[in-house]
Chains A and B, each alone.
Chain A
Amino acid sequence: MEEPVKVAVDENQEYVINMGPQHPSTHGVLRLVLALKGEIVKNVEPHIGYVHRGMEKMCESITYPQIIHLTDRMDYLSAHINNEAVCLAVEKALEAEIPDRIKVIRTIMSELTRIQSHQLFWATFGMDLGGLTCFFYGLRDREKILDIFEETCGGRMIVSYNCPGGLMYDIHPNFQKRVKEFIKYFRKILPEYDQLLTGNIIFQERTRGIGRLSLEDAISYGVTGPTGRASGFSCDVRKHEPYSAYDRVKFNEVLFSEGDTFHRYLARMEEMRVSMDIVEQLIDNIPEGPFAVKLKPVIRLPEGEYYQRVETARGELGVFIISDGNKNPYRIKFRSPCFSNLWVLNLISRDFKIADLVAIGGSLDLVIPDIDR
């Protein structure tokens, strides 16, 4: 017989409410069990696994080129960067020489992916705080990047543009022109974002000093990405362990020390500017060359363990492959950024109000399929 379900948090007469799995502000099927005292959050208990698809297990039975299309579905907002991580790991294992053209195009695409992800963050964060107009502004501009993707890759959100050894297709002839147009457009639009949300007094009141994450906690919980950098944790993989073409561009790592919701938001806004700088440096100097190198038709990694980490829009994504020499991996493990970032939620939102919890949750910028995989 099954044991009766124990009541986990009810001893101090706390008001327990179930936020999610279907809730407008959990951005997916995340379930949070909140213990409240009046409006004040006393405990947050995240329950995950509602979109668990057994991705790592599925990877064990498919080939490496097929795995790439699965990784799109983890953090669907940085699909391209996820693909890149697996490709880099495979290429590292095969010790394949990757031409510069591929590296540069991958970097440009990654940065565009980052920009559109942060645009969506801005859109949904505004919506979490009740500013519904932000949502439409954010999506309007994101559409422009998706159009560029569509033209080059065929896909919009789930691009699947990478393959081991290079790219699926060459860039579209319009690609450079349209990217430059977009950068020019978006540089003009970004101040509008600031006017609508960043400078708003209500917004600042709602986010400043809320959900402070200290540097020590950020490091010990393994919080990466803009969330970690807002707390002063220098964790930008692009800077510390440059992959693709990041070693040939100049950019600054966005670092803040406050670690509150406002600075997590600000870190992303700054990162959009940094990403535009990176794209601008590369877009005119895409070297000539092939868009893919020929690998063997059936890719078998030599026996051994391979690890590659990349910086997605949410933080550090690690791909760990154990190969036994077969055409599919023996075991694959993804170190996904959202999974690590989620667990600070209880720590930093305790003793704040429900409305703050929503703001903090929004500022962590969680993508639930990335947590559940």
Chain B
Amino acid sequence: MTWLFPLYLLGGAAIIGPILMHLRRKPPQDRVEFSSLMFLDAQTPMPVSKRRLENWLLLLLRCLALLLLVLMFARPLWRSENEDTVSQNQATVLLLDSSASMQRSDLWKQAVAAATQRLEKIAITDRLAVATMDCETKLLWSFDQDKTSASTRIATLKPQLAALKPGWSSTDLGQALVDAAGWFGSAQGLSGLRKRLVVITDFQEGARLDALRGMVWPENIAVEVVRVDAPNADNFTLSLVASAEESDAGNLARKAEAPTTRVRLSNTRDSNASDFKLAWDEGTESPITGYLPPGASRVVSLPGTTGILNLTGDAWDFDNLIYIAPSQPKVVKIVFIGDEKTRSEAASPLFYLSRALQQTPSLRPELTVVPESVANIPAGTELVFISGARLSAPLMQSVRASAEKGGLVIAVVTPEMKAQDLEALTGVSGVLINPSDPTDQSDQYQMLAEVQTAHPLLRPFADERLRDFTKLRFWKHRQLTLPKQAPLEVLARFDQGDPAILARSLGKGRIVLLTSGWHPADSQLALSTKFVPLLYGWLEAAGFRNEQAVSLLVGDVLPLEAATSIMTPDGQMLTPKAGDTIRAETPGIYTLAKDRLIAVNIAPEEGRITPMHLAKLRELGVRVEEGDVKAAASAKAEDKERLAITEQEAQQRAWIWLLGSLLAILAWETWLAGRIRQGTLQPAYSSP
């Protein structure tokens, strides 16, 4: 049962009035005429107050009437929701926002104080779980722990909370809510308890809520948002955008001339700050100053490509640094077996290969030409191209050995090659090479068909827009007859059905066979737009990713491929074991395996610190209750709640029954008082 106007209940104190009146005896002022006093002696008048209550039934009726009046004004109602049937004990999850934005001002202190206060309020019979949330939710105290050691929860959690500090991650509020709702569902012994989720957060606009879209919020879990507020939200957000060179890869000259870094600057909507200054932390270049109105966003280019960019001009510093690691292209050792002299001959395959393999921000191919006469290819070779050369047996063995170690071998089948050569190279026997060229006979060109774009080696063509092979013509090719169940995989065929590209895994590496070369004598491949993507697709398949200069966000998993040690920005050395995942916890430059640098920055959305409206949570179906949020924000929800209980009260109309009872009691009281008065009425002295 609850009350529409509970303040009226204070009026219940009015029953003290009738009690005092019944305790007070009026000094006897009445004069009664009596026939004769001859049998009566004089007495002394009695004191005014008395300790004994008289007419207790009358007093009871009067008190009851007052109480009914008070109850009637307080307008009682019975909530028809389920909470009436559940017990008064609560199961509470306390979620503490520990994202980077909580580093502002004294937000963290406020949050810890609010959490401690809530912690102390929770009864020993209630159940509690405590967690922190940023980009992931970390449980500090689970329901299961609470079940076994509820009495020690405050003693355990208080020092833990005091020792906590906000991190540098973004806020994934949606995932945190989903996780917490899951704990309510999975923990045992919570049925029948009122479920309550208390989120202590700055509730910034940048908090992600996407995870909530995928679930229907349980009706029985109420969410209370306890918002901690900073004095203002004047903040610029800094984030890296793709550099101009990357988007215009062909403009090598410009890259060489003016290497620049492009960053996006955003200002919060209700910001009072508008003038910014952007400068490298260690650099001689003069800082860039500018004007950015509230709510606006702007991309700024500034000279220099590596270092630490520092932004000033706003109220909060936590997101004002951006780390940019220098690009570190990985060296790929590539061997072409053939004649070095042909490098400048336009008809030779080497001519095209040497031009196609250019340095990218992440890869630096080093092409070495090895003559057929050598017995071994250089050690550490990762990629081998064979086109038109006739390999000696030891060289063939060396090439195959390199593939088995994890390298990639790309060989063009020539009319001079024999089945034994192919067998020696691929390890597949029974492959026959037709000595005559079928294209010559038909005097026609061939085109590619049945391209297995899903295969890793042809991944660059997975995009439908890049699958047009009709402009690529092949003048000559070698017809291979494959034995049944040969381990060779046909990745593409010519339109007449002959295999065009074949591949085989060999040890840790791969061998790719092309039945037609890329040089103009064989086909238009080298001159087509497909050649370079095809080459880099092969490189990627061989494990050389054409990825951008490494830049991660706080909370991302650090790439640990070959790294045996990681040095964090604060100089700590981590040695991950196999299978470990290590997340970047602080922004800065991480050093992997001594020389690989990775810049880790704060997620740009964490800088959007304008407070979010609670309505956003409600839109996603979350049952939100107000916490210690500002009164203005809470007024609307209170009104809604009030409207709901007013409607319920209007339906129940308990006050009518109270009024009826009150009238009945008043009638009874009047009758009883009259009777008592009549009973005590002195016989009147009739005047003559």
User: Does A associate with B in a complex?
Assistant: no
Binding site for A on B (CB under 8 A): none
